[in-house]
Amino acid sequence: MISKFKNSPWLQWTGAIGALLMLFVGGLILGWSSPYLAQLTAPDSPLPISTDEASWVASLVSLGRLFGAVIGAVSVQYLGSKNTLTLIGLPFIICWVSLIVANSVMWIYLARTAAGIGIGMAFSSFPLFLGEISSPSIRGALVTLATTGLPLGTVAGNTIGAYISIQVFSYISLVPNVIFIVLFLWLPESPHHLIRRGKLEAATESLTRYSPKADVTKDIEGLRNFINKTSSTTCLDRLKEFNLPRNRKAVIIVILLYTFMQFSGLNSTTFYMEIILTDAKLTAIDPALMVIILGVIGIVAGWAAMLVADRCGRKPLMAGSSAGVGLSMVAIGVHFVLLKGGMDPVPMQWLPVLSMVGYQIFVYLGVTPVPSMVLSELFAPNIKSLAACMVSAGAGITGFASSKTYQPIVDTFGEEYVFWMQAAIMFFAVIFTATVVPETKGKTLQEIQEKLSRK
């Protein structure tokens, strides 16, 4: 029994759990917004803020993510993805400490910006780390397992935030923060990074620990040839690599996948969920409780994605879930149109509930995990960190645009127009995925690069 455990890829799963904990903290930051924005904008708020200040509180995470993308890419290139994941704990700690001492909205701005930097660094590093340490047969499952940390943290933030103060919430959030730092300090660096640094003995030991059943001599030699063949010496050399059609196409594909994820309502709907349900005249169930239920549904959908990611493939998962999100957004938009038309909201309460349930299922089933899976797979080792920087920076810009424009568009045109615009984007995502995104299920990173090179 012990021998069987030693020969299993348990350390790969441990790395995924570490990434899950890190994204769980990111989810706490996202889930923080729904209960506390409602509290901070209430008339009896202990720290009152305006609706305009609230929109900045919601959107500064995405703006900080832009800077975090650059920091994360530089760190991955020189320190490695594992060490970068360890360093992410620092901006998260700054976030929680700032909220503990907050006595003005400026402290909240600092906290949200620092949190965004941490999230930007996370998406520049965790897909690369898991892609480099995982076996092809479970790579999709590992990346998907890690991404379930976001809905887990979000529902925890929604639940805890409804009952305790911001300061107590921040103290509690420091606990998983410290745990994932300690876990990543213990884990070995990926063999890919160690080979790039010429540490062949350490790379051999790392590969042996992560993949006990591997033919270490053969795999190390294959990695050396793969990395040496695709090595570039300077940043300018790596930038020139994006002139190659396969790399140019790959970065456009992944940036667009993350753009679809951001404009699916992932940020705006999560941040304003309680407010959306309240404005939808939901009275059959308390909106704060409904937010918690929806968070649990998102967690279950994320677990389901982990089970099917390496079975049905990336393309069907992304296309199907995008279509589901689009239909859900159409439905919630119709509900707001009917409300403005004077219809009694009581018999229509099933519509916003069904819409938001559908949204949570589909967004966490494919729209959230698939972009990270594809990011972990499409790029050669020499340009991975730079590609991740571009992708995470692009996600930061689109996430900021999505969350910052939500409230102004609602105030100017109404909720239905926001939701219908998001639906249109998701329907386009279906077409894009079906016609452009390559299928990478079950292939090694070397095989994916060879396939892209042939094309």
Taking the model in full, what pTM does it have? 0.73
Give the number of residues written for the chain.
455
Let me know if residue 219 belongs to a domain. Answer: no
Burial class (CB in 10 A: 0-12, 13-18, 19+), 63: buried
Q: How many domains does the chain contain in total? A: 1
Let me know if residue 215 belongs to a domain. Answer: no
Backbone Cα Rg of the chain: 22
Let me know if residue 196 belongs to a domain. Answer: no
Closest CA to 65 of 130, 28, 112: 112
Confidence band (pLDDT; 50, 70, 90) for 359? very high
Given a cut of 70, whether residue 8 has pLDDT beyond it is no
Angle between helices 245-261 and 384-412 (to 10 degrees): 30
CB crowding 368-387: b at 16 or more within 10 Å, else e: bbbbbbbbbbbbbbbbbbbb
Q: What is the DSSP letter of 332?
A: H
Confidence band (pLDDT; 50, 70, 90) for 426? very high
Residue at token pair 């832009």: 66
Burial class (CB in 10 A: 0-12, 13-18, 19+), 293: middle
Residue at token pair 């996948």: 257
* Residue numbers of the domain that contains 270: 2-187+230-454
What is 367-419 written as a DSSP string?
Answer: ITHHHHHHHTTSS-GGGHHHHHHHHHHHHHHHHHHHHHHHHHHHHHT-HHHHH
Query: Residue 165: its pLDDT value, please?
Result: 87
Query: Residue 315: its pLDDT value, please?
Result: 87
Average pLDDT, the chain: 83
Which of 99-103, 223-227, 230-234 is most confident?
A: 99-103
pLDDT tens digits along 316-334: 889 999 999 999 999 999 9
Query: Residue 117: its pLDDT value, please?
Result: 93
Let me know if residue 213 belongs to a domain. Answer: no
pLDDT tens digits along 21-54: 999 999 898 888 778 877 888 777 778 888 778 8
Given a cut of 80, whether residue 174 has pLDDT beyond it is yes
In this predicted structure, which of 153-162, 165-174, 206-215 has the lowest mean pLDDT? Answer: 206-215
Let me know if residue 201 belongs to a domain. Answer: no
Query: Residue 112: its pLDDT value, please?
Result: 92
Task: Give the residue with greater pLDDT, 117 vs 270.
Answer: 117
Token output for 426 = 């998701």
In this predicted structure, which of 36-50, 213-227, 277-291, 384-398 has the lowest mean pLDDT? Answer: 213-227
Instruction: Return left, alpha or beta for 281; rule: phi > 0 is left, psi -120 to 50 is alpha, else beta.
Output: left
Let me know if residue 195 belongs to a domain. Answer: no
Q: How far is CA 208 from the centre of its chain?
A: 29
CATH number at residue 109: 1.20.1250.20
Confidence band (pLDDT; 50, 70, 90) for 453? low
Given a cut of 90, whether residue 236 has pLDDT beyond it is no
Contact, 128 vs 433, CB < 8 A?
A: no
Q: What is the DSSP letter of 40?
A: H
Task: Give the residue with greater pLDDT, 422 vs 308.
Answer: 422
Average pLDDT over residues 366-395: 79
Query: Residue 5: its pLDDT value, please?
Result: 46
pLDDT tens digits along 277-290: 888 888 888 887 88
Query: Residue 128: its pLDDT value, please?
Result: 82
Given a cut of 70, whether residue 237 has pLDDT beyond it is no
Token output for 445 = 């990173």
C-alpha to C-alpha distance for 316 and 313, rounded to whole angstroms: 6
Let me know if residue 341 belongs to a domain. Answer: yes
Angle between helices 105-123 and 51-79 (to 10 degrees): 40
What CA–CA distances, in Å, run from 253 to 165, 294, 358, 371? 42, 30, 26, 9
CA end-to-end span of the chain: 45
C-alpha to C-alpha distance for 40 and 43, rounded to whole angstroms: 8
Closest CA to 396 of 112, 89, 96, 36: 112
C-alpha to C-alpha distance for 131 and 412, rounded to whole angstroms: 44
Q: How many other CB atoms are there within 10 angstroms of residue 300's CB atom?
A: 15
**Farthest-apart Cα atoms in the chain, separation:** 72
Contact, 53 vs 177, CB < 8 A?
A: no
Contact, 452 vs 248, CB < 8 A?
A: no
Q: At 48, phi and psi to the nearest 5?
A: -65, 140
Let me know if residue 197 belongs to a domain. Answer: no
Contact, 214 vs 195, CB < 8 A?
A: no
